[in-house]
Amino acid sequence: MAIRQPDIVRLWRAEFRHYSLSHAQRDLVAGLTVAAVALPLALAFGVAGGSTPAAGLVTAIIAGLVIGLLSGAPYQISGATGAMSAVLIVVADEYGPRGLWIAGLMAGVMILAVGLFSLGRIINFIPAPVITGFTSGIALTIAIGQIDNYLGIKTPAHDRSSDKLIGYFTHALPPINWNAVISGGVVMAVMIIVPAVFAGAQRIPTALAGVALATALSWSLGWDVKTIGAIPRGIILDDRLTPRPSDIHLVSHLLAPAFAIALLGAIESLLCGVVAGRMTRQKLAVNQELIAQGIGNILLPFFGGVPATAAIARTSVGVKAGGATRLVSIIHAIALLLGAMFFAGLIGHVPLAARGAGPQRNPDPALRHRLANE
């Protein structure tokens, strides 16, 4: 009786059957381009997801290596994303970092199970308007959550983003830090003006260029703005999930958050595959992609990372830069790792206003303390 070849082996063989030096050059350029785009996004979405910039960077590195290697298509690039961050911040505020790690681990198991049992097509039955409305709401939540850091102020936290937004108009604001406003404005200006003025600027990582320029101005002129701070030179953070026997008691508390993370992770990853598949005319192996996402998200908490999904923006950059295989994801991860090892000091000087932040809510100290010590 013939043994069925695993999907990932079939994908690898088809992908690298005619691999050449030309393909390698394209993958190298695309991988470095994606890394340039991914760096500021990883730092921002690490914080936006209720963790730290370092956690976002570690997430991009581990997801790029593990999920990229096992992905259901050569073009998928995974990491922390804005859509996922809007869900994670709620989990982090209610259950604390440990609750976030355990929920992420549980979500990874759920996604892996869906992939192993070939149930990925179920995601296709979710109506498009529901997905559009959900992602649009997430965009508004993220934008509202960035206002404090953009203005360089600190306003009271709220449980709902709508209350946070209303508060800016109904309460007196602290003095605005105009240096922070300029830092954020520089990044936006570069991202908007450069592509409009310079032909062929689509290949320029404008997000990274804007952040670099804002950081250079802030540092050289001695502006009084909050910065990211120290970034660890490695991929295993001190703050990470270390299993305890008592963790089993948290499962019932975290079942609903884990399901939400798993559902969003699966939807976003498969949507990314649909978008990139149309760009490349290469079909995504749905169940293999979910297996990859599941394994990656199971591993991430043990490194201190946050849950990851396939990222449409980074994937599109890789495709447009000429990426040929999944080595683009792996090269981008290695480039980020080398950046963390050798340029952590420079990254630490990035102004918070230049890279954004996530929504703020009132934490529940009693619940966080109880969960942390169960």
In 10 A of CB 13, how many CB atoms? 10
Query: Would residue 252 count as lying in a domain?
Result: yes
pLDDT at 368: 45
C-alpha span between 14 and 126 (Å, rounded): 31
**CB distance 88 to 261 below 8 Å:** yes
pLDDT at 116: 93
Please give the model's pTM, rounded to 2 decimal places.
0.78
Average pLDDT over residues 346-357: 70
Parent domain of 255: 24-177+225-238+248-356
Q: What is the DSSP string of 292-330?
A: HHHHHHHHGGGGT----EE-HHHHHHHHHTT--STHHHH
Query: Would residue 8 count as lying in a domain?
Result: no
Q: What's the mean per-residue pLDDT of the chain?
A: 84
The region that residue 183 occupies, defined by phi over 0 for left and psi between -120 and 50 for alpha, beta otherwise, is: alpha
Kindly give the pairing relationship between strand 78-79 and strand 309-310.
antiparallel
C-alpha span between 351 and 347 (Å, rounded): 9
Angle at 171 between CA 166 and CA 172, to 5 degrees: 135
Query: Would residue 84 count as lying in a domain?
Result: yes
Query: Would residue 19 count as lying in a domain?
Result: no
Over pLDDT 90: what percentage of the chain?
32
pLDDT at 138: 67
pLDDT bracket for residue 9 (50, 70, 90): very high
Q: What is the DSSP string of 121-174?
A: GGGGGS-HHHHHHHHHHHHHHHHHHTHHHHHT------SSHHHHHHHHHHSPPP
pLDDT at 359: 41
Domain count, the chain: 1
Greatest mean pLDDT among 95-104, 162-171, 202-211? 95-104
Q: Give φ, ψ of 17 to 5 degrees.
A: -60, -40
The region that residue 256 occupies, defined by phi over 0 for left and psi between -120 and 50 for alpha, beta otherwise, is: alpha
pLDDT at 260: 92
pLDDT at 363: 42
pLDDT at 135: 65
Q: What is the pLDDT of residues 125-171, one digit of tens each?
A: 767 777 677 667 767 777 787 788 888 888 887 767 788 888 889 88
Residues 6+ apart with CB under 8 A from 277: 73, 75, 283, 284
Q: What is the pLDDT of residues 10-57, one digit of tens each?
A: 999 999 999 999 999 999 988 988 887 788 788 888 887 888 888 999
Query: Would residue 254 count as lying in a domain?
Result: yes
Tell me the three state secondary structure of residue 227: strand
Query: Would residue 15 count as lying in a domain?
Result: no
Q: What is the pLDDT of residues 300-313, one digit of tens each?
A: 999 999 999 999 88
**CB distance 205 to 36 below 8 Å:** yes
The region that residue 50 occupies, defined by phi over 0 for left and psi between -120 and 50 for alpha, beta otherwise, is: left
CA 137 vs CA 2, 196, 287: distances in Å: 49, 28, 28
Tell me the three state secondary structure of residue 109: helix
Tell me the three state secondary structure of residue 351: strand
* Burial degree of 52 (CB within 10 A; 0-12, 13-18, 19+): buried
C-alpha span between 266 and 306 (Å, rounded): 15
Query: Would residue 284 count as lying in a domain?
Result: yes
